[in-house]
Structure 1
């Protein structure tokens, strides 16, 4: 089984866009946190998060996205559970092909869009920081139609519902997971590294 370092190298070899890389780090952090919460394999769940969009920059067509990366991952010997979760997070091709029928695939779908909304909300704060970000601020921005237009609002609700968690609780949980890697995500704002790690 490839290591996290192998997954990082694979991801960065195909993804050059820094914001997309940060998105994948954010989803990895949220997936690792959920794996700990549910007593699941943190490495597997983390890899699903880190690699879920690794073909998107080169293959943005949603009818192809995830199928290309699935081929890459199979060739490299990745666990089929990781590959399945990645395939199942793309609703454009999901349908009957890859229904989200396990906890990992439900968590990946739930973490994908919400990390984007949390990031966008943090970046419009005066501090440009996720530290101290409130759930209410994220919920308020969710209602603003023009804000973070690329984030599918229906998927935010559907993801939490499929995972069986209250949306506010889900947002709070993801904020906490992302806060732990705030500097990596460029969301530490004006806080010093000492304050971030405290």
Structure 2
């Protein structure tokens, strides 16, 4: 099985957009935290999160997205469970890859919510995820036009499929992402001390 370093190298070789890289790092850490919570394989789950959109920058068409990644991962001899979950997170693949396992459901649940959390953190005065409240994220979810690329129904459905309360899910993912706030650029801007 390839290592996390192999997976990171694969991801960054295909993804040059820094925000997309940060998105995948966000999903990676959320998946790692959920694996720990459920007593699952942390490395396998984290790698699934890290790689889930590795083909998106080059193949944004949803008919190709995840299909191309699956090919790359099979060539790299990645675990089939990772490949299945990545295919399953693209709704167009539901007929052939339904989200019937915990790994697939967790990936789907973590994918969109990390985007909403990031967007909410970035509009705070300090641009920090640290101390971000669930209520702030829920309020932004109700704001039309805010983080328009994040489909609200996917946020709700993701938590439902995973069998977790949406507020608890948001709090859990905020906690996970906060653990790597510096890496994500969400540790906040420090104001210069005035003398």
Task: Sort the TM-score into its range (normalised by shorter chain).
Answer: over 0.9
Q: Deviations over 1:122-165 (max 9, x none)?
A: 00000000000000000000000110000010000000000000
In 2, Cα distance between the equivalents of 1:47 and 1:25? 10
Residues 31-70 of structure 1 mapped to structure 2, 5 A cutoff: 31-70=31-70
Give the whole-Å Cα distance in 1 for the aligned partners of 2:171 and 2:4: 26
2: CA distance, partners of 1:65 / 1:9 = 19
Partner of 2:71: 71
Map of 1:157 onto structure 2? 156
Report how many residues are paired: 191
- State the TM-score, normalized to the length of structure 1: 0.95
TM-aligned CA deviation for residue 95 of structure 1: 2.4
1:122-133 equivalences in 2 (<5 Å):
122-133=121-132
Which residue does 1:196 correspond to in 2?
Answer: none
Q: How does 1:59-138 map to 2 (within 5 A)?
A: 59-91=59-91, 93-138=92-137
Provide Cα deviations, 1:102-121, integer angstroms capped at 9, x if missing partner: 00000000000000000000
Q: For residue 187 of structure 1, give the secondary structure of its aligned residue in structure 2.
A: coil
**Structure 1 residue 15: deviation in Å?**
0.1
> Tell me, which stretches of 5 or more residues in structure 2 are unaligned?
none
Once superposed, which parts of structure 1, at least 4 consecutive aligned residues long, lie more than 4 Å away?
Answer: none
- Calculate the aligned-residue CA RMSD, in Å: 0.9
Aligned counterpart, 1:180: 179
Matched residues in 2 for 1:164 and 1:10: separation? 32
Q: Output one character per residue of 1:145-198: Cα deviation in whole Å (capped at 9) or x when no partner.
A: 110000010000000000000000000000000000000000001359xxxxxx
Structure 1 unaligned segments of length 5 or more: list them: 193-198
Q: Distance in 2 between matches of 1:170 and 1:2?
A: 29
